[in-house]
Structure 1
Amino acid sequence: MKISRTRTERAVVLRSIEYGDKDLIVTFLMADEGKRTAIAKGGKVSKKRFAGSLELFRVCDVTYSEGSRKDTMAILKESTVVEDFRHIEASFDKIAIGSYGTELTRELLRDGEGQGEILDALVGFYRRLHHQEEHAARLEADLHTFILHLLGLSGYAPQLTHCVHCGLAVDQGQRLLFSRRGDGALCQPCRDSGQSTLDTTAPVLLTLAELSTGYADIEREPVPVALLRQGRQLVFTLVRAILSRDLRSYSTLKMVMP
């Protein structure tokens, strides 16, 4: 006999897909269970049980039931909004940036992964976007910060301050490369024959290294646009190397980060 259990958890919506005329299949990042998918029966029409909580950029308390088998989809009973980020939803640029960060989080994690620090990082990213002014360089720096921080938490941190092969510290005067495999910086002598690389500079690598430490308690000076644009190519090369493809939201993101 299968015994179901009911749980209530703090969660963030990672994706919501229509299923039939009335239902939704929702992927959450939960505080204790990590990435988890549940079916919300009547999720498209029930305002009493879900009340606009099954959309992106929502922190919710979700109540769901599940069977004894881990591979059984949970059934969402109720969801209430704890925190929303309306300033993200009011800005096309912020929606594009926030959607990319959300999709990356979802695609990096397997079911059951992502508890604790990753959930905190995603909520912190939303809060940052919510309060950030409409300043293109600051918004892009916030995205790069989140991506690099998330990759570090997920075990994919690139080496940005030293050559990945010989350990030579990044020198302001030398020619530097970045491996398209996503492992990090290379000095010219360590480049393997036939290895695919990108040309880069020490200021770009050191800027990304600083951003990878997370958001500072005090406001940073805006990162120069030239460094951001050069760093952008390295950041998205990292994502492409890890996932072996671009995210679907990347095409929209390019519209706000020309």
Structure 2
Amino acid sequence: MAMRSARGRTAHRSAALLLHSRVLGEADLILQFFTRDYGRISVIGRSARKSRKRFGGALEPFHQLSVEFDDRGPDAELGVLRDATVQLPRVGIVKHLENLELAGRGLAWVRHALPPRTPEPAAWRACGTLLDALNSSPPDVAPRVLAEFGFDLCECLGWALELDACVVCRRPCPEGQSAGISPARGGVVCRECGGAQRVLRGPTRMRLIGLGRGEHLETEDAESVIALVEDILRAHAGLD
């Protein structure tokens, strides 16, 4: 939602997730949000560090926030945060260290992957699904939840992998067979076409294909799928 601020600038309000914050001077914070309506934005929070009362303690990760910010135009790197309130608290995430760490890892992926100032409604919904699940899931389920989110995020951003045939020669990959996966080339690369360093077990590959039909991964898939997601993000988003 856009409106005119008292200073004549364009003010916007949107649901948001806090992705990152860093200190600026003695009192201010540079804040990066993923907003539902405007995508990834960076703003300055005046006196946000000096006084928690300034934004009512709302500048915490994982909760869904409502933020209002002034947009100083496409040539300005930073907007100005005017207001932030908690819309949907997710206090359950911090009850388990595993869930807390994996939620932070997922939002770090989002921060690296999203282009600035570009709405990504599918990615926004995926983030909500991830955080809601980690808010209520036991720690032993959390890695699988993150793995499914990461694969979904890559698909939302146009980096889906071809998993049922070689991307070079189009030869079908037999059901249940392990396969070499090249994120940079877009999916399976058979041995005749050079193969790939990352090898995905056949059952895991089939369950990844099944995600599009509403199926789920197994706990045993989580580690390899998370590693695959980070390979995709390195190839396409410069993940460290």
Give TM-score scaled by structure 2 length: 0.86
Determine the C-alpha separation between the residues in 2 that align with 1:159 and 1:43.
Answer: 45
Aligned pair partner of 1:143 in 114, 133, 146: 146
In structure 1, the residue matched to 2:180 is: 177
Determine the C-alpha separation between the residues in 2 that align with 1:244 and 1:105.
Answer: 12
Give percent identity, aligned residues only. 22
Determine the C-alpha separation between the residues in 2 that align with 1:43 and 1:112.
Answer: 23
* Partner SS, residue 53 of structure 2: coil
Q: Is the 8 A contact 1:3 1:67 kept in 2?
A: no
Determine the C-alpha separation between the residues in 1 that align with 2:126 and 2:224.
Answer: 25
CA RMSD of aligned residues (A): 2.4
Cα distance change of structure 1 residues 164 and 58 upon mapping to structure 2, 3 Å threshold? same
In structure 1, the residue matched to 2:15 is: 10
Deviates more, 1:56-65 or 1:164-173: 164-173
Give 5+ residue unaligned stretches, structure 1.
247-258
Is 1:200 the counterpart of 2:203? The answer is no
Letter in 1 for 2:58: S
Determine the C-alpha separation between the residues in 1 that align with 2:139 and 2:86.
Answer: 25
Aligned pair partner of 2:230 in 236, 245, 256: 236
Cα distance change of structure 1 residues 10 and 215 upon mapping to structure 2, 3 Å threshold? farther
Letter in 2 for 1:75: V
Give 5+ residue unaligned stretches, structure 2.
1-6
Letter in 1 for 2:57: G
Alignment of 1:1-258 (within 5 A): 3-135=8-140, 138-172=141-175, 176-179=179-182, 181=184, 183-191=186-194, 196-211=196-211, 213=212, 223-225=218-220, 227-246=221-240
Q: Displacement, 1:196?
A: 4.6
Q: Displacement, 1:101?
A: 0.7
Q: Displacement, 1:169?
A: 2.9
Cα distance change of structure 1 residues 182 and 55 upon mapping to structure 2, 3 Å threshold? farther
Letter in 2 for 1:179: S
* Partner SS, residue 16 of structure 1: strand
